[in-house]
Amino acid sequence: MLDRKLLRDMKRLWAQALAIALVMAAGVATLILGVGAYRSLDETRSAYYERYNFADIFATVKRAPEGLKQRILEIPGVSAAETRIVKFALLDIEDMAEPATGMAMSIPDYGQVHLNRRYLRSGRFPEPGSAREVTVNENFALAHGFAIGSTFSAILNGNKRTLNIVGIALSPEFIYAVGPGGLIPDPRRFGIMWMSENALAAIFDLEGAFNSVSLKLLRKTDQADVIRQLDDILEPYGGTGAYGREDQLSHAFLDAELKGLAALSRVTPPIFLLVSAFLINMTLSRLIALEREQIGLLKAIGYRPLTIGMHYIKLILIISAAGILIGSVAGTWLGQGLTILYADFFRFPFLIFRRNPDLYVIAAAISGAAALAGGVRAVYHALTLPPAVAMSPPAPAQYAHLGIERLAALKVYSHLTLMALRHTLRWPVRSGLTILGISLSGAVLIMALFTLDSIEFMIDTIFFQSDRQDATLNFNDERPIRIMQAVQQLPGVLTAEPYRTVAVRIRNGHLSRKLAITGKRPDTDLSRVLDLDLQPVTLPETGLVLTQKVAQILKARRGDLVWVEVLEGRRGLKQVPVTEVSQSYLGLSVFMNLDALNKMLEEGPLVSGAHISYDKARTGALYKAIKETPEISGIAIQSASLGKFRETVARTIHMMTAVYIGLSLIIAFGVIYNSARIQLSERAREFASLRVLGFTRGEVSQVLLTELGLLVALAIPLGSVIGYWFAWAVIRGFENDLYRMPFIIEGGTYATASFIVLASAAISAAIVRRRIDRLDMVRALKTRE
């Protein structure tokens, strides 16, 4: 019999129940979405690494003899080593005017490849010794519409060659393929070209030699120890310092993304589960208050408290089941979408969708537990009420004077407003939790929307304040500074500023970090170094300018002396003061005055590349000239980087933002609608009285709307504060060596979040208002409260 009542209750309460179930579903969905996508991607990555033998340690050298490989293999703990030739080259591709950058990578002509094996999507690998055949990475092929048989030109060691695509492949080394100077993968402008080792060796005069080596370690091997020994072996041959997977660009980016995803799935679901627990508590408390007499009656006629308790528990379970079901379906669906989105952005030969039942069980258990926790107090109350007490009406609610009543005489507010104020303060905990619930929806919105502010700020800082060059040219080797005259004379070039990068290890006490020092002219105007207030810094005559992140890692402050171990050229160890700390959102950069850097290296005035600005009208001629300049091995065009950056942001961030806006609407609507419905139910009699007294529908609604308005008005600033805090946590969560987002929340973001919360409040209010209009005065007044 009670089950029939349950069904009828559900029919009556369906809108409120659905609102709660949706909030819960949002929690379940974000959990399954986040954890599911994380697990799928993590699993995919692990399987990919394992099947294709992704190396553990990577190192580059200037030129080392092949015979060194045996010594490397003898390092204890090394299970495999693979040497190869890796060189950058400018590409001349028919469908684009500007040159692209290619990374030529050798594959042995004979014998098996052990490490960093490629997955051949189609075609084959180049014939041994062929200097015309090339296998390219899939994204590059897709970006240009290349198929087997397509051709493009590459300037390899100064000679332009036409290359014939014979295969399309993927590699665990380039899941996230960023070209030199690029921020994010741009497959149109950066491609990987696998070529015959013999052919590359011949082209780059590296016969019997290699300039790159990767190692695989045995389990439980001390990586740092192997790196140290490898560095010792490679040092005489121009080794620039070996590094582990964690510093391998593709792996590091992917790892940062996955960590972000995992962080997100730890933060958001609890918010939704908390809110749904509160909503269940609020709704069930009200339902039980309304059914007080029925409960008393049921007890009086002999129903056991446990049976009655179960009746309400079942109600919670039905709502939870609906929430879990909707959440699981939505979470699975969104999770797959997100996984595919990620997989499309990164590049995997296969995708493993992990659909572990444990995740669903955990999600269901957590949500169910949260719901029961929310309802248990209300149910307990129903169980402990003695039948005689339950069957008599509850004592009228006690109210208190607010101390502002005198203002009524001044007509500052009406008695309707007073009703709203007193009622809000009568239930401080509930009002407080409602405010908190609404504010969480605002906070989630701010968390979702502020990323765009941060990214815009970051774009402005990077592209318009700091790196204002039109393009950056990389030379294929260190070149004497006089090359700048040639660069200056390239068609259309307006300004050219040289830079030099040097691989170093910086040590401060026991802390050390391998990175690169970039030397620039002190008066540089294109690629500027910005201080912490984002003002341009004139690079001092001596000393290092550390970016904030590097300073943090090394615990170094201005004025500290740090050790710089040069990892290339003549090498050497120098003690250098830190003269400035600068701002930077990308990578780990350290800057130095170019002259001071060259002086420290004792190598004379050398440069690694140039930043240029040019006349856009002469772009064609400039690109043509660059393609014919053998010394230039790579080019990064700022406008292209910016375009790609924005495109990627649009694809990923905008989707996440949309999802979060949807989720926060669910919270806002769930909390506001439920709270309005409960108020209406509690106060139907009061409202009916007001209607009888001759108050219009509008005036009666005013009481409810004032109260909701008050709660929302208090929730909005609180939401802004919590949102600020959430945003800060997100910034911190996403901070890593590769990138850091500036913590920027524009006023417009607060305004938009507030507007969305207000709009969902207005919609909830409008729905409840319709119920006030349909209020049956006579019936409401005849019932005993």
Partner 1 sequence: MAATGKQTRSRGSRESMFKVEGLTKVYHTGELDIHALSGVDLTLYEGELAVLLGPSGSGKSTLLNILGGLDTATSGQAWFRGDEITALSERELTQFRRNHVGFVFQFYNLIPSLSARENVALVTEISTSPMAPDEALGLVGLDHRLDHFPAQLSGGEQQRVAIARAIAKRPEVLLCDEPTGALDSKTGVRVLEALTSVNEELGTTTAIITHNAAIKDIAHRVFYFSDGRITKTDVNKRRVTPDKVHW
Dihedral sign computed on CA atoms, order 214, 220, 221, 224 = positive
Residue 184 main-chain phi, psi, to 5 deg: -140, 160
Position among 695, 724, 739, 743 found at the interface with partner 1 (CB under 8 A): 695
Q: Which two tokens stand for residue 27?
A: 């929690």
Nearer residue to partner 1 within complex by CB, 401 or 482: 401
φ/ψ (deg, to 5) at 658: -60, -45
In the complex, least distance from residue 296 CB atom to partner 1, rounded to whole angstroms: 19
CB of 684 to partner 1, least distance (A): 11
Is the separation of the CB atoms in 565 and 507 below 8 Å? yes
Is 333 or 399 the residue whose CB approaches partner 1 more closely? 399
Residues 536 and 542: beta-carbon distance below 8 Å: no
Tell me whether residue 147 or residue 397 sits nearer to partner 1 (CB atom). 397
Q: How far is the CB of 421 from partner 1 (least distance, A)?
A: 8
Closest CB to partner 1 among residues 393, 620: 393
Q: What is the CA radius of gyration of the chain?
A: 33
Q: How far is the CB of 430 from partner 1 (least distance, A)?
A: 15
The CA distance from 685 to 683, in Å, is 5
How many Cβ atoms are within 10 Å of 44's Cβ, its own excluded?
22
- Rounded (5°) CA angle 7-8-13: 100
3-state secondary structure 79-146: EEEEEECEEEEEEECCCCCCCEEEEEEEECCCCCCCCCCCEEEEECCCCCCCCCEEEEEHHHHHHHCC
- Residues 626-685 contacting partner 1, CB under 8 A: 685
Q: What is the DSSP letter of 489?
A: T
DSSP code for 410: G
Q: Which of 207, 182, 47, 166 is nearest to 103 (CA)?
A: 182
Nearer residue to partner 1 within complex by CB, 625 or 777 = 777
Rounded to a whole number of angstroms, the minimum distance from the CB of residue 396 to partner 1 is 4
- Token couple for 3: 């089950």
Q: Closest by alpha carbon to 601, among 693, 519, 497, 679?
A: 519
Residue whose CB is less far from partner 1, 416 or 581 = 416
Least CB distance from residue 696 to partner 1, whole Å?
5
Nearest approach in angstroms of CB 395 to partner 1 is: 7
Query: Among residues 361, 293, 473, which one has the least CA distance to residue 31?
Result: 361
Min separation Cβ 678 and partner 1, Å: 16
Q: Which token pair is 15?
A: 């809108």
CB closer to partner 1, 655 vs 775: 775
Q: How far is the CB of 402 from partner 1 (least distance, A)?
A: 10
As a whole number of Å, the end-to-end CA separation of the chain is 25
Task: Between 314 and 422, name the residue whose CB sits nearer to partner 1.
Answer: 422
Q: How far is the CB of 414 from partner 1 (least distance, A)?
A: 6
Cβ neighbours of residue 687 closer than 8 Å, sequence gap 6 or more: 680, 700, 703, 704, 772, 775, 780
Binding window for partner 1 (CB under 8 A); candidates: 153-161, 195-203, 637-645, 775-783: 775-783
Smaller CB separation from partner 1, 343 or 777: 777
Contact segment (CB under 8 A) with partner 1 among 514-522, 529-537, 542-550, 773-781 equals: 773-781
Phi, psi torsion values for 162, nearest 5 degrees? -95, 130
At residue 262, φ and ψ (nearest 5 deg) are -65, -40
CA distance linking residue 475 with residue 478, whole number of Å: 7
Smaller CB separation from partner 1, 1 or 693: 693
Q: How far is the CB of 701 from partner 1 (least distance, A)?
A: 13
Query: In the complex with partner 1, which residue's Cβ is closer, 286 or 691?
Result: 691
Q: What is the distance between the alpha carbons of residues 29 and 35, in angstroms, rounded to a whole number?
A: 10
| Total residues in contact with partner 1, by rule CB under 8 A | 36
DSSP 8-state secondary structure symbol assigned to residue 412: S
Would you say 252 or 777 has its CB closer to partner 1? 777
Give me the least distance between CB of 400 and partner 1, in Å please: 8
Interacting positions 594-623 with partner 1 (CB under 8 A):
none
Between the CA of residue 84 and those of 101, 206, 229, what are the distances in Å? Answer: 19, 10, 19
Cα 554 to Cα 545, 568, 591, 734, 739: the distances in Å are 13, 21, 15, 20, 17
CB of 398 to partner 1, least distance (A): 5
Fill in the DSSP letter of residue 56. Answer: S
User: What residues between 376 and 435 interact with partner 1 by CB under 8 A?
Assistant: 395-401, 405, 408, 414-416, 418-419, 422-423, 426
Per-residue binding string, partner 1, 674-693, x by CB under 8 A, is -----------xx-xxxxxx
- Per-residue exposure over 743-759, b if at least 16 CB sit within 10 Å of its own CB, e if not: bbbeeebbeebbebbbe
Asked if 16 contacts 669 with a C-beta cutoff of 8 angstroms, the reply is no
Of 132 and 771, the one with the shorter C-beta distance to partner 1 is 771
Q: How far is the CB of 692 from partner 1 (least distance, A)?
A: 5
- By beta-carbon proximity to partner 1, the closer residue of 73 and 412 is 412
Decide if residue 769 touches partner 1 (CB under 8 A).
no
Q: How far is the CB of 397 from partner 1 (least distance, A)?
A: 5
What dihedral do alpha carbons 557, 559, 563, 569 form, nearest 10°? 110
Of the two residues 489 and 696, which places its CB atom closer to partner 1 in the complex? 696
Q: Using CB under 8 A as the criterion, which residues of the chain lie in contact with partner 1 when the complex forms? A: 395-401, 405, 408, 414-416, 418-419, 422-423, 426, 685-686, 688-697, 699, 777-778, 781-782, 784-785
